[in-house]
Amino acid sequence: MMEIGRFQIDLEMRNLRRDGEVVRLGSRAFDILAVVASAAGRLVTKDELMNAVWPDTIVEENNIQVHLSALRKVLGPDRDLILTVPGRGYQLLQRKKNALPGEANSQVSLARRLPPPKSGLLPRAAEVELIRAMLRHAHVLTLAGAGGIGKTQLAIEAARHSAAQFADPVCFVELAALTTHESVLCAIAESCGLVLPGTQTDVTRVAAALAGKPRLLLLDNAEHVVGAVAQIADALVAGNERLRVLVTSREPLRIMAETVFRVDPLDVPPPDASDEEILACSAVNLFLLRANSLQETVATGSAELRLVGEICRRLDGMPLAIELAAARVVALGVEGVYRRLDDRMAILAGGYRTALPRHQTLRATFDWSFALLDPVTRAVFRRLALFSGTFCFESMCAVVCDEEHTMANAIGGITELVAKSLVSVQFVGAAAKYRLSESTRAYALEQLKAEGELREIVARNARYVSRCVQARLSGDRRDSENQAAGAHDLQPTLDDARVAFDWVFSADGDPRTGIELASNLADALLDAGLFEECCARAAQAVDALERQPSGTVSAASEQRVRAALDAASRAVREPLPALALTQRAPNPVPKKQEKHEPHEPHAPAVAAMAPPACFITT
């Protein structure tokens, strides 16, 4: 909270108050006020102000004057506190504050304190208590996590509960509007009630002023100035053993004094959860709390409650996305929101008016993260959109690497994406498995389509998966003694092949590459005894084959697809589709496939049988 005359600026809630009462102020006018106030008395140039208030937009310079006039009208007698420096920019006139040691003139502090607690927040008591315990020993503690995961509110609550451990009040610095090392340092000095005379700021003098005092400094939203924050925080704690710096950021600072706390999503119910288990999940509770606050009673029955659980699960427990989805219930209903999650970037908008602009829509949250990536990492990120589940490093390289992007680029890119909380990683033994959340993947897919790369990346992935299936089949057939273990090991490869198959036969795919994949996938499905799925997928491939010009598909792939369709159709005791009879008879079915014929019923993992040439999703 900052003060200007009789006014208080709440950057977290994005409102202006006079003597505690909220004053109406336009969004652009507030943005101008926030940028000038956050500069802590430093001159803000016109270009800097326009870039902060209208990012990536070309506007006339007189827009500043229009909104500045509205702001000064609201400030009334305090209007002169915002000084126009002709030809240079704008500056907030400082109230008197405490001077640095050795400086003359004792002054009144304008230190910024913690924002007031928000009503209706779900408690995260376990995380708050853990952060409090970590602050007793960690000099710099960074709460790292994806955008919209709830880092800011968790940090504020932890700081509020930790305040009694420190002699001075907690100092809060909102970094969202700051862009330079100097502006970050000035904001920290102001938040601590310090003044830096002269035109040059000096981290050494700030560190000396803070030396010896137990103090908690909260730096919020550091990811876009992470380098400056890292240097400043490192210098400050080096000069004060009793100083604690709590940081929220989408990526760690990577300094020796830092301890990282990964902020996890809210817990979501499993698909087979009971009503009681669904209601026990924090993600569901947040959804119901937000929906009910809009005077929309939801989840009155078991069916609707299960839809709420499914929405929260598909949103990966992300608090921001869940709140935005709950807000749409008023217009769309729970079922309407659930049915439109495939277009989540369009419907998940309309957040709190007082929220930061990047927290008002799901797309804006990802735009903020995407803008912080370098061009190579952006390419890696968007190409990962094809993976709907976990994937390994080799799979990633198959779709990412080409003449322009090397394996070194892939290593650097995935490292950066994990650090910036856009990709999660788990280790299965010594092997790393990566995953994008469903919302992250939806945004990456938008970027892949916008770049015009979708068709090529789909084909690359299909060719790679086809080779993997073929290699796995060859290995399993050679190792007949361990056939049961081989079938178990084949399952992840089958899952990857199913996803690749659906992609390659979609509107953005390449059917010729798909037929090659289908020839290997169909063989694998036959070996696994999944006859119904094999029949449906092979029929879809044969249907696509009939529409291809002669000679565009290899004879071997064509023969194998038709043979698989023949074997699978006989296994499920169905007649061959007419289109499969238009070509010469396929090769005899191998004995290994024939021995499956009498077995009924078929494996429970089989997808529901669909008409030939339909689109199957497993």
* Cα–Cα distance for residue pair 313/284, rounded to 1 Å: 9
Residue 402 inside a domain? The answer is no
Domain CATH number, residue 202: 3.40.50.300
Residue 455 inside a domain? The answer is no
The per-residue pLDDT for 249 is 95
The per-residue pLDDT for 308 is 95
Domain coverage including residue 57 = 2-92
Residue labelled with tokens 């652009």: 28
Same domain, 348 and 282: yes
Same domain, 280 and 240: no
Instruction: State which of 234, 262, 290 marks the end of a domain.
Output: 262
Residue 103 inside a domain? The answer is no
Same domain, 510 and 609: yes
For the residues of 505-549, what is the DSSP string, one character each?
TSTTS-HHHHHHHHHHHHHHHHHTT-HHHHHHHHHHHHHHHHTSP
Residues with pLDDT less than 70, the chain: 1, 12-13, 40-41, 86-87, 94-112, 117-123, 195-201, 295-296, 350-360, 475-489, 573-618
The per-residue pLDDT for 61 is 74
The per-residue pLDDT for 479 is 53
Same domain, 615 and 495: yes
The per-residue pLDDT for 592 is 39
Same domain, 194 and 67: no
Same domain, 199 and 294: no
438-450 and 454-478 helices, crossing angle to 10°: 120
Q: What is the pLDDT of residues 173-194, one digit of tens each?
A: 989 888 889 889 988 988 888 7
Residue 464 inside a domain? The answer is no
Comparing CA positions, the residue from 118, 116, 439, 115 lying closest to residue 293 is 118
Same domain, 193 and 287: no
Same domain, 166 and 283: no
The per-residue pLDDT for 29 is 85
* Cα–Cα distance for residue pair 274/145, rounded to 1 Å: 30
Residue 450 inside a domain? The answer is no
Residue 374 inside a domain? The answer is no
Domain CATH number, residue 27: 1.10.10.10
Same domain, 132 and 213: yes
Q: Can you tell me whether residue 10 is helix, strand or coil?
A: strand
Same domain, 522 and 601: yes
Q: How many domains does the chain fold into?
A: 4
Same domain, 233 and 288: no
Residue 603 inside a domain? The answer is yes
The per-residue pLDDT for 47 is 80
